[in-house]
Structure 1
Amino acid sequence: MNHTRKSWWGAPRTITNTIENRKISWLELFSDLVYVVIIHSFVENLSEHFTLFGFVTFWVLFLFFFNTWTNMVLYFDLHGKANLRNTCFALLQIVAVAITATYTTDAFAGHYTGFILAYSFNQLIYMYLYFKTMVADPLHATTTRPFLIAYIVGEIIFIGSIWAPSLLWQQGLIVLSLLIFISTVMAENHNFDVEFKRRGIPFELNSAILERYGLFTMIVLGESLAGIIEHMTAEHTELADYTHFTAALVCIIGTWMIYYTLMDEREVTASHYWPISLFRGIHRFLIACLTLQSFFISQTYETGKPIYYTGLIIVTALVLLALLALTRPQLYNVHPLSSPKLWATSGTIVLMLLTLLMPVFVGLALTDVALLTLGIWSWTTQV
């Protein structure tokens, strides 16, 4: 009877049972869709809370949600199977993330209880999933047990913050729990080294994971496009509006071209686990900056104010710096970025920063030229 139950419900795939040339499943693609709404919510709430507190809240919420996304991406890649069990829990997690997202506006307003409870339910889902991988594969306890212990401690602090004596204390406890959640895997580098070497698992990010990062990046760029199109269709009809719209659009296109040209066919492998963790951390920072770029592009286009343009240039420069950090080091790149592309990207960053001395839309036009030139040149040399 037990064998029959497992045959239709399924069990998690063991970490050594790798899938060669794994393709992203339709279930994974569907699970990413909920983040379209989350990214849009971030941009909208930043528009309403353009303050230091608003930006801190953005970073905190972004890291919470992206941590969930990362954990589920790794679970799919290491333990996922095309069975009923995996499908049911993936769909349940989508529902949990969607419910959590409904409390984003409350969190920006300084009300955290709903977000804490919803996010905790979401975390319990994949904590349970990782626990079951340890049960099915006892050798995996080397890395899974410390992971679960750290998350239990973080959850106790996180949920306990509901009863904090003051708002400041609550915010401090929330940030402390977040630091535990996002640092757990990095802190476990030695355990991963031990398990991976003992079991002959390569230290690498396969093409499926890299493609998931690329798809998330596409979601953020899609939000950038949606933002400027929404502003354009609302009330803008003059020639200058179309000119500014085009300038904002070209900025997005240039960013897209540079990212996908530099990241295309990238092979990420290392001799230890910590460079792999570092690569994922840098990519997380890059996607956060792209989300901020979406906000600043729409606000620059809508208002033309220098403060928004300054923010746009700074975060776009940070995106390019993050791309250099992802593609240049031999620490995890099989084929590091060439020196000419390194200098060309660095020169583009310098030129963009110089445009801060110019009128907003003149500077944006020059930034567009710089980004497009770098993107087209990188693509032609790669082809």
Structure 2
Amino acid sequence: MSDSAPEPRPATAEAVPLGTGTRRWLFRPPRRHGEVDTERSVSFLELFYDLVYVVLVGQAAHTLAEDFSWRGVATFAVVFGLIWIAWLNGTLFYELHGREDGHTRSLIFVQMLLLALMAVYVGHADGDDGRTLAALYALLLALLSYQWYSVYRLDPPELRATPRRYLIVMVAGIVLIAASVPLSADARLVLWAVFVVAWSGVECAVLISWRRTPSYNVVTEPMVERFGLFLIIVLGEVVIGVVDGLSDIERSTLVTTTGLLGLAIGFGFWWNYADLVSRRMPRESGHSLATWIFAHLPLTMAVAAAGAGMVGLVEHATDHRTPASLSWLMGGSVAAMLLTLVVLLPALADYDRHPSAYKSVQTVLVVAAVVALLAGWSRPAPWLLALTLLLLLSVTWAFAFVRWLREGSLINERPAG
């Protein structure tokens, strides 16, 4: 017989009555503010939730691909803003307060049902379908507000001030969107634009005020990953745009080459974001965190718009000059993406560790953005426009790569700490 102590038996879960266990699983309250799960990973449910946004963004991008006019671009920007705000609310709620239980799952699936119905009407949001879209969006905001309110009820009094402000803005948004239902298409789009700008601005201010002196951490790796995954969603529109363009016209060497160059622009988007921003944690302070979160709105919008432009780029591949609206869309999208990276970089937690490297990269990004706008203004042939934009994205990444090597590290390494 061995003299060593016997190994302890593994702990077993305590059995609970079926009724009690079911009630716990279905009606367990959400996590309160401060109960952040820093050890969790992105769940299958969150990935499933994001899949619905693939359809929503795809519908909006498809409509833009058919109309590159200023009105078409403005409609796309407003509708994309609505989509992104809905995604942000659903994502942050799950990150800060969600659980792996039936209550959370049920509410997310109800959201997904509403989002799927919204996707039916997104394609003609600037017409009569906009009324139904507005009504569904108001219902979605009401559901999200209920979820945030369920947390507010559980919070101790000293933590209720910020959630109360957030809820007030959400309710005001519901009223504004509901008021747009009976309006004409133009008036409705204007009211939606007011909602997107006002909601983003006010909530940004609320976040800055709340996080001025953080009492607990809210930034986690899963949250950073979710924002990166949303960029992957909009990057999918680049691939779809190229494939749709090549599928609809007669394919020649020039047409195929233009399509592949357009697809490579998507690679350039990914490479710059993946190595400069992705997996790098933002600062916990309110100003930096607000900048990091809300800069993703124009960034992802620009990438999705470029994806829509791929269809036109391929369709006009044999033209001597790119149509003006399409050329401005492509050049402007690349410029917007690069400039939002300039804004995002100082919000990163490791910005102060390599200040000279980051600042030099920011300078190159600004110069590249200006050149992208000049390329859009000059309207070269589609293949040359695509090649120029691709080279700009390649140069920005290559410059960052060299600067990080001089710092003794690689830009795609996970920052320490």
Asked whether the two chains share a fold, i.e. TM above 0.5, the reply is yes
Q: Does 1:296 pair with 2:296?
A: no
SS in structure 1 at match of 2:41: coil
Stretch moving more, 10-19 or 82-91: 10-19
Stretch moving more, 210-219 or 224-233: 224-233
Q: Does 1:227 pair with 2:236?
A: no
Q: Does 1:201 pair with 2:223?
A: no
Q: Does 1:144 pair with 2:157?
A: no
Separation of aligned partners in 2, 1:154 and 1:243: 46
Higher helix proportion (structure 1 or 2): 1
Which consecutive unaligned segments of at least 5 residues does structure 2 have? 1-16, 412-417
Q: Does 1:113 pair with 2:128?
A: no
Aligned with 1:349 (options 332, 345, 369): 369
Separation of aligned partners in 2, 1:285 and 1:35: 16
Give the match for residue 17 of structure 1: 35
Are 2:177 and 2:191, in contact at CA under 8 Å, matched by a contact in 1? yes
Aligned with 1:286 (options 299, 317, 322): 299
Task: Quote the offset at 1:41 in angstroms.
Answer: 0.9
Task: Quote the offset at 1:254 in angstroms.
Answer: 1.5
What's the TM-score, normalizing by structure 2? 0.82
Are 1:257 and 1:376, in contact at CA under 8 Å, matched by a contact in 2? no
Are 2:281 and 2:349, in contact at CA under 8 Å, matched by a contact in 1? no
Separation of aligned partners in 2, 1:179 and 1:310: 23
Are 1:269 and 1:333, in contact at CA under 8 Å, matched by a contact in 2? no
Work out the percentage of aligned pairs sharing the same amino acid.
Answer: 21
Summarize the Cα distance change of 1:302–1:20 in structure 2 as closer, same or farther, 3 Å threshold. Answer: same
Q: Does 1:261 pair with 2:275?
A: yes
Separation of aligned partners in 2, 1:332 and 1:55: 36
Separation of aligned partners in 2, 1:44 and 1:364: 20
SS in structure 1 at match of 2:100: coil
Are 2:282 and 2:349, in contact at CA under 8 Å, matched by a contact in 1? no
Are 2:138 and 2:174, in contact at CA under 8 Å, matched by a contact in 1? yes
Rg comparison, structure with higher value: 2
Q: Deviations over 1:310-353 (max 9, x none)?
A: 32112101101111110145799454552342333334334434
Structure 1 segment 298-317 matched on structure 2, within 5 A: 298-304=311-317, 305-307=322-324, 308-317=326-335
Aligned residues: 377
What's the TM-score, normalizing by structure 1? 0.88
Separation of aligned partners in 1, 2:67 and 2:366: 32
Separation of aligned partners in 2, 1:208 and 1:339: 27
Give the match for residue 120 of structure 2: 102
Summarize the Cα distance change of 1:332–1:15 in structure 2 as closer, same or farther, 3 Å threshold. Answer: farther
Q: Deviations over 1:105-163 (max 9, x none)?
A: 23122542201111111112111111111122243421222222222233223213334
1:251 partner letter: I
Task: Quote the offset at 1:4 in angstroms.
Answer: 5.3
Summarize the Cα distance change of 1:362–1:151 in structure 2 as closer, same or farther, 3 Å threshold. Answer: closer
Are 1:269 and 1:334, in contact at CA under 8 Å, matched by a contact in 2? no
Separation of aligned partners in 1, 2:245 and 2:348: 43
Separation of aligned partners in 2, 1:351 and 1:108: 33
Summarize the Cα distance change of 1:170–1:292 in structure 2 as closer, same or farther, 3 Å threshold. Answer: closer
Are 1:155 and 1:177, in contact at CA under 8 Å, matched by a contact in 2? no
Which consecutive unaligned segments of at least 5 residues does structure 1 have? none
Stretch moving more, 314-323 or 130-139: 130-139
Are 1:268 and 1:334, in contact at CA under 8 Å, matched by a contact in 2? no
Q: Deviations over 1:8-31 (max 9, x none)?
A: 222201121121243111111110
Separation of aligned partners in 2, 1:215 and 1:262: 15
Task: Quote the offset at 1:175 in angstroms.
Answer: 3.8
Are 1:266 and 1:333, in contact at CA under 8 Å, matched by a contact in 2? no
1:372 partner letter: S
Give the match for residue 160 of structure 1: 179
Are 1:49 and 1:108, in contact at CA under 8 Å, matched by a contact in 2? no
Q: Deviations over 1:257-291 (max 9, x none)?
A: 111111133121143x2331222111111111111
